[in-house]
């Protein structure tokens, strides 16, 4: 069992490793039950990563465990989001609340954006909930611009096999990757 204790200050940040997810990490993404309803979503994303259409990342701080995550869809059924060559779609970006506002989100984004640039992608697209201005500010500081409104209708099958529908109005934001 992982211990979830935040260390004092942000002297812990240099010890964080941002790495590709492994199968044994999937349970930790549920954050002690808070996101258990996404168990199947995580498993399906992991399977897409094994097929090469997605890249899943976690931020790990030992001995604490996984304190952040982000998923990248390289290709999907909406080519304006991810087309397999120039556009990639970032989603499921989370940092545990006790580790926010210390630079971890930017650190994760640096790793992900550099990886996508090296893969030849020129744009990263994401949706940010309209009721999450803190995340929107982070993305704006990193050079993302609002390019469209997204109605935010999506659905998934939860851990009990029930179909769940979500309405989460969002802003679609995009950034051109340059080095």
The predicted-structure confidence for 11-69, as pLDDT tens digits, reads as follows 899 999 999 999 999 999 999 999 999 999 999 999 999 999 999 999 999 999 999 99
What are the residues whose beta carbons fall under 8 Å from the beta carbon of 170, sequence distance 6 or more?
A: 127, 128, 129, 130, 149, 150, 152
Bridge partners, 123 (sequence order) = 87, 176
Question: What domains does the chain contain, in order, with CATH numbers?
Answer: 13-127 (3.40.630.30)
Contact 106, 140 (CB under 8 A): no
In three-state form (DSSP H/G/I as H, E/B as E, the rest C), the secondary structure along 91-158 is EEEEECHHHCCCCHHHHHHHHHHHHHHHCCCCEEEEEEECCCHHHHHHHHHCCCEEEEEECCEEEEEC
């Amino acid at each position: 069992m992982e211990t979830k204790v935040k260390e004092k200050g942000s002297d812990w940040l240099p010890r964080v490793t941002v790495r590709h997810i492994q199968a044994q990490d999937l349970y930790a993404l549920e954050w002690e039950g808070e996101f258990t309803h996404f168990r199947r979503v995580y498993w399906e994303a992991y399977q897409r990563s094994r097929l090469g259409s997605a890249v899943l990342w976690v931020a790990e701080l030992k001995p604490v465990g996984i304190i952040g995550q982000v998923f990248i869809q390289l290709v999907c059924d909406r080519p304006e989001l991810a087309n397999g060559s120039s556009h990639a779609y970032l989603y499921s970006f989370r940092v545990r609340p006790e580790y926010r506002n210390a630079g971890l989100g930017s650190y994760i984004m640096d790793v992900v954006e550099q990886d996508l640039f090296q893969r030849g992608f020129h744009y990263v697209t994401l949706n940010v909930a309209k009721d999450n201005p803190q995340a929107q500010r982070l993305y704006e500081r990193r050079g993302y611009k609002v390019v469209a409104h997204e109605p935010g209708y999506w659905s998934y099958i939860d851990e009990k096999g029930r179909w769940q529908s979500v309405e989460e109005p969002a802003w679609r934001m995009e950034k051109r990757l340059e080095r």
